[in-house]
Amino acid sequence: MHVQEDSVFCAIVAGEAEASVVFEDDVVVAFMDLGAVTPGHVLVVPRVHAVGLEDLDEDTGAHVWRMGHRIGRALRRSGLRCEGVNVFLADGEAAFQEIFHFHLHVFPRFQGDSFRIDADWATRARHLLDSEAGRVRMGLAEIS
């Protein structure tokens, strides 16, 4: 896991870097993504520095997702081209996280836009799913 104390997001949250802010409160700042997938691409960033899910407390995480939900709804009402909405979290390098300050992407989707997720969507055997479910239950037990 990356240990990055300061990020461009820390500077934005502190008001030390420019950002086109959509929403802010005492927990999060939501602003337009400079590297937008589509026009209207918003990042929801907690004020507290956390690298990823493992570092973020659940109450702050729930607020990030609540605001992501609200911004997704707002995008549909914004007048921007929006035939759908993606809410996307990249947690760790293997998941394509590039800025190591937790953030949630919320962006409009439309026919012919450039966003792609390429994966092998093959059906998994039930015994594998049951085994994997057991492993996740073990992980949940460690958190509780």
User: Which pLDDT tens digit goes with each residue over 11-42?
Assistant: 999 999 999 999 999 999 999 999 999 999 99
What are the backbone dihedrals phi and psi of residue 10, each rounded to the nearest 5 degrees, phi first?
A: -60, -40
Q: Is the dihedral of CA 14, 19, 25, 27 positive or negative?
A: negative
Where in the chain are the domains? 8-118
| Mean pLDDT (the chain, rounded) | 94
Q: What is the mean pLDDT of residues 126-134?
A: 96
Among 8, 40, 31, 18, CA closest to 110:
40
Angle at 43 between CA 99 and CA 140, to 5 degrees: 75
Q: What is the pTM of this model?
A: 0.92
What are the backbone dihedrals phi and psi of residue 42, each rounded to the nearest 5 degrees, phi first?
A: -115, 145
CATH architecture designation of domain 8-118: 2-Layer Sandwich (3.30)
Q: Which residues lie below 8 Å from residue 47, measured CB to CB, with a gap of 6+?
A: 13, 26, 27, 28, 29
Six-digit token string for 57: 């407390």
Q: Please say if the pLDDT value at position 46 is more than 90.
A: yes
pLDDT at residue 7 in the model: 85
